[in-house]
């Protein structure tokens, strides 16, 4: 079942078309990355999904509810952190959680579980303005999860976190997705962080969704670049086309750039030697997702 | 909704600016109360001095009158001399009463003096600085006080009831604008500043409920702070200086008879407090509108206070468009002067009365809330 469907959504802010006819969807239990450079429209998309911004055109549905028409029903299925952790800093961590707990009529036991989950048990009665950014992020995540949402929306959640914090967040999100079948939609401009936890990635550039038809993470693996002897290009193309461990390939200025599946490097070398194709200047490019990211956003 | 109201109240009572504003309000009331008390002493001393002067002037005129009578044997002069003797006695009694603090004896003396004055004005044997109506009105009031055993007070007397009226005239008209806008001028923009706006609006609660929760909390907090402070002073002064008689006559503009009548001070205070509550609600509604339009707390508080004070000054001090003044809610900020008809006389506009005050304030409050709701509902949350 689709937990989120964004259908032909456009949004103009201050005469700038921020979102241009974007469409995508997320299935239950899926972790989806939402990647694009700064100003691409990631936060605007999240705000439209959460009804903080009203779309000019198109439709957003959460768990089957139209966000514009059935706002309350739709929003009751989500937990979200947008831009920065929105916390009442002069209240304690517990008071912040207590507010959401009472507002959404959630049991005390669930709140205690969340306090454990955030790892802030020792500091939960401290005022939030004494928390580090990482602690604030954890508390905000706890508040979003307090309602056991079907869809968790996270906007740049790794911002300000140290490497350990980022690693912890990754683990947490994976666990959430596995245990509670929570769908997670994470926006980031740092692809390296997204690709490790996401089932797939949606790219956005200048308010448009890019390469949505291809699930690039399924094709993730290694990108190899090499030069082959002249005159054998066409033969190579035919061989590569029928090969099941090659995701994609292209020929640029005598160089083949081939995207192969993980651990398929030896297969490639074998294939080349079996078909008598000599190669030179053989080197690995960045990993596939990052490479695609660069490809997509190189104009920016 | 109740949880948001509770949270907003919690935030309100934790905000330093609100605590400072309430402390400043308390300090101002203490200051004005003390100044009023010292003014009351000055007034009593002044009264004593005036009585002494009147007494000396009468004494000085008695001797020549007596000598003139001896020479002329004119019975009219004897009559005048005798009336002067009577007046001398009255003033001596008054002087003694003021010295001993016997307010009722002083009141009796005042009544006798006013009766003589009135008789003199009517018989055209006396030229007075005061009109017949003023003397008559005072005489009626003083007789009422005496008959009902009510101790007379000055404007500055800080008995509990009179304290409310005095503050309504001197402190609240301007300070209430500052106080309420400080309290609630950032009720919406504060969330933009803190980043909690998004947290609130992504909850499955309608935007209108969020807005109304905030407005209700701001109204409740403002009422608690203002009425609470006034109540503390009312009770405190009641212990120190006494409540004052609830039946003390106060001028009240009666719209049904289109004339000034006297009503008891307690009843006057009830009217005063009822209008004060409506004015506080009006200020909060205006603050919510300004706070919704601006995204910054400091800006919204600054704009609210500047706008409020400017309109207040333009309207009540410079008296622009006096014929339209009854349509401006800021006209009614000095509640006692609205109730007693002073503003109606000052603006030469009989529409300025408590009824149009309530209608005007309710209409503007409703308008503020409707506009705020429309903006808040339709607004994109950019920050």
A255-261 vs A221-228, strand pairing mode: antiparallel
Q: Do B204 and A75 touch (CB under 8 A)?
A: yes
Q: A188 vs A38, A183, A286, B68, CA distance in Å? A: 9, 16, 19, 111
Encoding tokens for residue B232?
């503390």
Q: Which of B143, B137, B152, B151 is nearest to B341 (CA)?
A: B137
Give B207→chain A minimum CA distance, Å. Answer: 10
User: Which chain A residue's Cα is nearest to B190?
Assistant: A88
Give residue A286's pLDDT. 56
Q: Is A275 near chain B, with CB under 8 Å? A: no
Closest residue of chain A to B381, computed from CA coordinates? A52
Q: Which residue has the tokens 């602690």?
A: A135
CA dist B32 and B168 (Å) reads: 12
C-alpha to C-alpha distance for A34 and A210, rounded to whole angstroms: 11
Chain A neighbors of B11, CB-CB under 8 A: 88, 90
A300 has pLDDT over 50: no
> What is the block-wise mean pLDDT of chain B (383 residues), using blocks of 10 residues?
87 86 90 85 85 86 82 81 84 87 86 85 76 84 85 78 87 87 82 82 90 93 92 91 83 81 89 94 92 82 86 78 83 88 82 89 95 88 67
Q: B195 and A84: CB-CB below 8 Å? A: yes
Secondary structure (3-state) at B45: helix
Shortest distance, CA A144 to any CA of chain B (angstroms)? 9
Q: What's the gap in Å between the CA of A159 and the closest CA on chain B?
A: 16
A3-49 pLDDT, tens digit each:
899 999 999 888 888 888 888 889 888 888 888 888 888 899 999 99
From the list A76, A87, A99, which residue is nearest B204 (CB)? Answer: A76
Task: Count CB pairs under 8 A between chains A and B.
Answer: 70
pLDDT at A213 over 50: no
Provide the whole-model pTM: 0.79
Domain ranges for chain B, please list them.
41-147, 158-378
CATH of domain A221-297: 3.30.70.100
C-alpha gyration radius of chain B: 27
Residue range(s) of every CATH 3.30.70.100 domain in chain A: 221-297
Outline which parts of chain A fall under CATH 3.40.50.300. 2-210
Residue A287 scores a pLDDT above 60: no
Structure tokens given for B300: 């919204």
Contact between A156 and A125 under an 8 Å Cβ cutoff? The reply is no
Is A47 within 8 Å of chain B by CB?
yes
Residue B14 confidence (pLDDT): 83
Question: In CATH, what class is A2-210?
Answer: alpha beta
- Contact present, B192 and B295 (Cβ < 8 Å): yes
- Do A84 and A78 form a contact (C-beta atoms < 8 A)? no
Q: Which of B3, B196, B378 sits opposite A103 (nearest CB)?
A: B3
Q: Nearest 5°: CA angle at B139, between B141 and B93?
A: 110
Please choose, from the candidates A82, A25, A73, A24, the residue with its C-alpha nearest in 3D space to the C-alpha of residue A53: A82
Chain A residues lying within 8 Å of B200, measured CB to CB: 86
Q: Which of B183, B341, B377 is nearest to B262 (CA)?
A: B341
- Inspect the interface and report whether the beta carbons of B199 and A143 lie closer than 8 Å: yes
Distance from CA of A90 to the nearest CA of B (A): 8
């Amino acid at each position: 079942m689709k937990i989120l469907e964004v259908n032909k959504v456009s949004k103009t802010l201050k005469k700038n078309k921020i979102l241009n006819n974007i469409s995508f969807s997320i299935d239950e239990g899926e972790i989806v990355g939402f990647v694009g450079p700064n100003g691409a429209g990631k936060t605007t998309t999240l705000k439209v999904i959460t009804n903080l911004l009203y779309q000019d055109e198109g439709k957003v549905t959460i768990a089957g509810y139209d966000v514009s028409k059935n706002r309350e029903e739709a929003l009751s299925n989500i937990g979200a952190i947008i831009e920065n952790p929105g916390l009442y800093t002069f209240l304690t961590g517990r008071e912040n959680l207590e507010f959401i707990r009472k507002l959404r009529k959630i049991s005390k036991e669930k709140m205690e579980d969340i306090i454990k989950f955030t790892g802030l048990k020792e500091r939960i009665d401290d005022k939030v303005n004494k928390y580090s950014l990482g602690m604030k992020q954890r508390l905000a995540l706890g508040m979003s999860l307090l309602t056991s949402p079907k869809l968790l929306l996270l906007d740049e959640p790794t911002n300000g976190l140290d490497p350990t914090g980022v690693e912890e967040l990754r683990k947490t999100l994976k666990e959430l997705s596995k245990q509670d079948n929570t769908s997670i939609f994470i926006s980031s401009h740092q692809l390296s962080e997204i690709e490790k936890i996401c089932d797939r990635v949606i790219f956005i550039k200048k308010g448009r969704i890019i390469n949505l038809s291809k699930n690039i993470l399924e094709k993730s693996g290694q990108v190899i670049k090499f030069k082959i002897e002249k005159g054998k290009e066409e033969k190579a193309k035919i061989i590569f086309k029928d090969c099941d461990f090659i995701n994609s390939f292209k020929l640029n200025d005598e160089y083949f750039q081939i995207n192969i599946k993980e651990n398929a490097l030896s297969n490639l070398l074998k294939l080349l030697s079996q078909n008598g194709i000599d190669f030179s200047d053989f080197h690995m490019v960045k990993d596939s997702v990052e490479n695609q990211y660069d490809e997509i956003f190189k104009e920016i | 909704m109740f949880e948001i109201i509770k949270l907003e109240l919690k935030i309100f009572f934790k905000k330093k600016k609100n605590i400072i504003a309430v402390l400043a309000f308390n300090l101002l009331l203490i200051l004005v109360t003390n100044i009023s008390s010292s003014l009351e002493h000055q007034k009593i001393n002044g009264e004593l001095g005036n009585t002494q002067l009147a007494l000396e002037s009468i004494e000085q005129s008695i001797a020549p009158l007596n000598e003139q009578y001896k020479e002329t044997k004119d019975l009219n002069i004897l009559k005048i001399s005798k009336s002067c003797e009577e007046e001398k006695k009255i003033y001596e009694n008054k002087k003694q009463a003021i010295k001993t603090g016997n307010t009722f004896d002083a009141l009796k003396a005042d009544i006798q003096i006013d009766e003589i004055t009135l008789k003199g004005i009517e018989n055209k044997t006396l030229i007075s600085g005061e009109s017949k109506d003023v003397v008559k009105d005072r005489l009626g009031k003083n007789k009422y006080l005496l008959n009902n055993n009510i101790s007379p007070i000055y404007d500055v007397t800080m008995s509990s009831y009179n304290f409310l009226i005095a503050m309504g005239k001197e402190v609240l008209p301007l300070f209430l604008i500052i106080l309420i806008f400080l309290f609630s001028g950032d009720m919406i923009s504060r969330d933009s500043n803190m980043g909690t706006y998004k947290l609130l609006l992504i909850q499955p609660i309608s935007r209108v409920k969020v807005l109304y929760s905030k407005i209700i909390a701001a109204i409740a907090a403002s009422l608690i702070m203002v009425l609470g402070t006034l109540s503390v002073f009312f009770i405190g002064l009641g212990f120190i200086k006494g409540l004052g008689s609830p039946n003390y006559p106060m001028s009240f503009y009666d719209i049904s008879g289109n004339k000034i009548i006297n009503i008891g001070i307690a009843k006057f205070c009830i009217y005063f407090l009822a209008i004060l509550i409506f004015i506080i609600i009006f200020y909060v509604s205006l603050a919510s509108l300004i706070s919704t339009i601006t995204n910054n707390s400091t800006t919204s508080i600054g704009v609210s206070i500047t706008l409020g004070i400017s309109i207040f000054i333009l309207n009540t001090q410079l008296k622009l468009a006096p014929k339209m003044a009854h349509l401006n809610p800021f006209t009614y900020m000095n509640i006692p002067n609205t109730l007693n008809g002073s503003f109606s006389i000052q603006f030469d506009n009989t529409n300025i009365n408590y009824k149009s005050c309530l209608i005007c304030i309710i209409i503007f409050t409703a308008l503020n809330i409707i506009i705020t709701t429309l903006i808040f509902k339709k607004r994109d949350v950019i920050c």
